[in-house]
Amino acid sequence: MAILLTGGAGFIGSHTAVACLNASVDVVLADNFSNSSPKVLDRIEKITGKRPALYNVDVCDKRALRDIFAERFITGVIHFAGLKAVGESVRLPLAYYRNNLDSCLSVLEVMQEFGCKEFVFSSSATVYGDQPAPLTESADTGHCSNPYGWTKFMIEQILKDAAKANPELHVVLLRYFNPIGAHESGLIGENPNGIPNNLMPYITQVAVGKLKQLTIFGDSYDTPDGTGVRDYIHVMDLAEGHLAALGYAEAHAGCEVFNLGTGKGVSVLEMVNTFSSVNGVEVPYIIGERRAGDLATVYADPAKAEQILGWHAKRTVADMCRDSWNWQKNNPNGYDG
Ligand code: UD1
């Protein structure tokens, strides 16, 4: 009996694999390595002492998926696989809609063929768009500002409809806030292709000397120090949130949605200063223009996950900074050394 992690070699997938294996939940990984490396498997084994099966497949390919379900007894799926770069999604909308919707539909159809009922989906706080924080799960959705966000919104709708039509389905939608950090061993972490779009990988690449300086995208927002405020969550807390969601999915039919965030807003400047002081490294920065589509303040109300899943984020912003740096400095070129 195993849980299939699509996109299981990626940033959040690999950390969730570790959390599952450490909790004696067996996992099988499927990944096409479009933004990940098969070398992550050695690291997962080093951390957990277990080496899960890893299939090199594109989960849009139903035939390849069927082979996995035929070979393994898959009791549930956590669907991480998907394209996730906001800017790229504006340039390549069709690729985003094709890949993200197709992969989800393929997985759901093959699950149905094999009588597999539990499905946990990686959604995003991006579905809330520009609304006042803290955001509860009952806030309006469908105010996305880019095709990537719309794929999350559309997949949420597909899953709600699928669960309504099939009372046997057990679906959990997880709306992530801003995942950063790395496993405390420093053996696995985030390894973006090219120049990072997101704040923490940009900071770590400046700190390690790969990039010259950080540009802070605007300091005139209506926030305490003028820079953007987000709800950063340690990726191991997020990973443990998936375990809690799996437990919930086992016991509950239907479709339920949970925010996975800390409930605390942190500004860009606070993050840069915490990173520097915790790690004793300089992060040179300049203040630049606002980035198109950015919001002033986004953070979760995490109460529902606490009440129903019994889960809350435990790690601090200092932990996130320490672990992100530990991963980056030990692996300046990601899994390639
Ligand atoms: C973005 C996506 C979100 C996605 C998340 C992944 C949108 C609108 N945003 O969130 O869907 O899930 O990435 O973690 O769809 N910043 C800088 N300089 C930089 C990079 C970022 O100042 O070089 C600032 C941003 O202006 C923002 C904060 O840092 O205030 C966080 O940015 P980022 O890490 O890119 O995440 P989001 O934009 O919040």
pLDDT tens-place string over residues 58-71? 999 999 999 999 99
User: β-strands 229-230, 266-267: how paired?
Assistant: antiparallel
Burial of 50 (0-12, 13-18, 19+ CB in 10 A): middle
Residues 103-126: pLDDT tens digits?
999 999 999 999 999 999 999 999
Q: Please provide residue 291's backbone torsions phi and psi, each rounded to the nearest 5 degrees.
A: -90, 135
> 217: CA distance to ligand 1 center in Å?
10
How far apart are the C-alpha atoms of 266 and 316, rounded to whole Å?
11
> 123: CA distance to ligand 1 center in Å?
15
pTM (whole model) above 0.95: yes
Region 184-194 average pLDDT: 95
User: β-strands 232-234, 178-180: how paired?
Assistant: parallel
* Atom nearest to 86 CA in ligand 1: 15
* Atom nearest to 180 CA in ligand 1: 14
Question: Helix %, strand %, coil % for the chain, to 5?
Answer: 45, 20, 40
Q: Which residues line ligand 1 (CB under 6 A)?
A: 86, 124, 126, 145-146, 149, 178-179, 197-199, 202, 214-217, 228, 230, 268, 291, 293-294
Contacts of 196 (CB under 8 A, 6+ apart): 202, 205
Residues 163-178: pLDDT tens digits?
999 999 999 999 999 9
> 268: CA distance to ligand 1 center in Å?
10
> 300: CA distance to ligand 1 center in Å?
15
Q: Residue whose CA is closest, atom 11 of ligand 1?
A: 126
pLDDT of residue 143: 87
Confidence of residue 313 (pLDDT cuts 50, 70, 90): very high
Say yes or no to pLDDT of 181 above 90.
yes
Please indicate whether residue 128 is annotated as part of the active site: no
* Atom nearest to 176 CA in ligand 1: 12
Of the listed 96, 128, 148, 202, which one is catalytic? 148
